[in-house]
Chain A
Amino acid sequence: MTEFIVVTSGKGGVGKTTTSASIAVGLARRGKKVAVIDFDIGLRNLDLIMGCERRVVYDFVNVIHGECTLKQALIKDKRIDTLHVLAASQTRDKDALTKEGVEKVLNELRDEGFDYVICDSPAGIERGAFLAMYFADRAVVVVNPEVSSVRDSDRILGLLASKTRRAELGAAPVETHLLLTRYNPVRVADGEMMSIDDVKDILGLDVLGVVPESEGVLSASNSGVPVILDDEASAGQAYEDAVARLLGEQRPMRFLDVPKKGFLARMFGG
């Protein structure tokens, strides 16, 4: 059984691609056969985050148009055998993606025996975002503890409940999960940032994981190594926990508390 998972958010810059890359790696590391697809037509970026930008020959739209086979377009990850990347096209043609075309590619991935297909959605609610979520079985909604991101996430939750194939067929709804990113426990403690409970309450959904704001994320994207592969980074560990929970494991949330301060810092409130 192939599971289609969309990583979406509505708002841009909250960490969808970072999350897609890390979830894909986390699943593939467990021996699952995984494909991760960039739906951001015209603004390809997943290849950079995955570190395979120089190996893109054919892309998603080439496959849809029959200009190459799916096999030719899938880029095999150099670190993990079971992981494959399908890059977005850099075309400016907004109508390059069609529902039929996307369905054809997803069906082929299913027939090839992939366990998971991660669909990395573009920001917004236009065609790319709509098609990334349309065939989903599950959704990971990436949200920052910040007003515009939370509001946009709620809008996306509404679309997941009404504009997907599952909704149209009257099948079981898309299983949705929240993933909080850029979480800063110090600012939460100071009352400058909404807490995990605030976001959970407002959106009425359980949280799959909380990824702390971490220097590791930038250095990971700088070097094209998904942050989950950085065992030192708190963000990497948080993604590892989230993947485990996605597979049904129970794990306590980490990185929610303010790091303990030293004596001097406590005296002077540093």
Chain B
Amino acid sequence: MGIFDFLRARNTSTATVARERLRIIVAQERSQRGAPDYLPLLRRELLEVIRKYVSVEQDAVDIHVERDGEHDVLELSVALPDRSAPAHVA
């Protein structure tokens, strides 16, 4: 630390920001690992079908496979828009 260090602006450490961002994305990607390859495509096609009827956000469809004892369960959730928001059917 030099005596003129106060002249340099001290920001939050960017290394800390990097670490936190990586923790989240790596955990998320690990949880998707080993899931069937068709999931992303299935998700996209489902989104297209839903959008024919309801105007939902790009990330409205959440899909993943859970292991439940002997069999796999495909979990699917769709977030519909707010009731207050005007619904536009594409």
Given A269-B2, A270-B2, A193-B15 contact (CB < 8 Å): yes
* Pair A191/B3 contact, Cβ less than 8 Å: no
* Pair B13/A191 contact, Cβ less than 8 Å: yes
CB-defined interface of B3-20 with A at 8 Å, one 1/0 digit per residue? 111001000011110110
Partner among A158, A201, A268 whose Cβ is within 8 Å of the Cβ of B4: A268
A contact patch SS: helix
Given A191-B15, A192-B15, A269-B1, A150-B22 contact (CB < 8 Å): yes
Given A158-B30, A162-B34, A192-B13 contact (CB < 8 Å): yes
* Pair B19/A268 contact, Cβ less than 8 Å: no
Q: In the bound complex, how far is the Cα of B33 from the Cα of A80, in angstroms? A: 43
Which residue of chain A has the shortest Cβ distance to B8 in the bound complex? A269
Given A191-B15, A191-B16, A151-B1 contact (CB < 8 Å): no
Which bracket fits the contact residues of A?
20 to 34
Interface size on B, residues (CB 8 A): 21
* Pair A198/B19 contact, Cβ less than 8 Å: yes
* Interface residue ranges of A128-179 to B (CB < 8 Å): 146-147, 150-151, 154-155, 158, 162
* Pair A267/B2 contact, Cβ less than 8 Å: yes
Given A191-B13, A191-B16, A193-B15, A154-B29 contact (CB < 8 Å): yes
Write out the residue numbers on chain A whose beta carbons fall within 8 Å of the beta carbon of B15.
188, 191-195, 198
Interface, chain A (partner B; CB < 8 A)? 146-147, 150-151, 154-155, 158, 162, 188, 190-195, 198, 201-203, 265-270
Listed by A's residue number, 17 A-B pairs whose Cβ atoms lie within 8 Å are A147-B21, A150-B22, A151-B25, A151-B29, A154-B26, A158-B33, A162-B33, A191-B13, A194-B19, A195-B15, A198-B15, A201-B19, A202-B23, A267-B3, A269-B1, A269-B2, A269-B4
| Extra contacts besides A147-B21, A158-B30, A266-B2 (5): CB < 8 Å | A195-B15, A202-B26, A268-B4, A269-B1, A269-B5
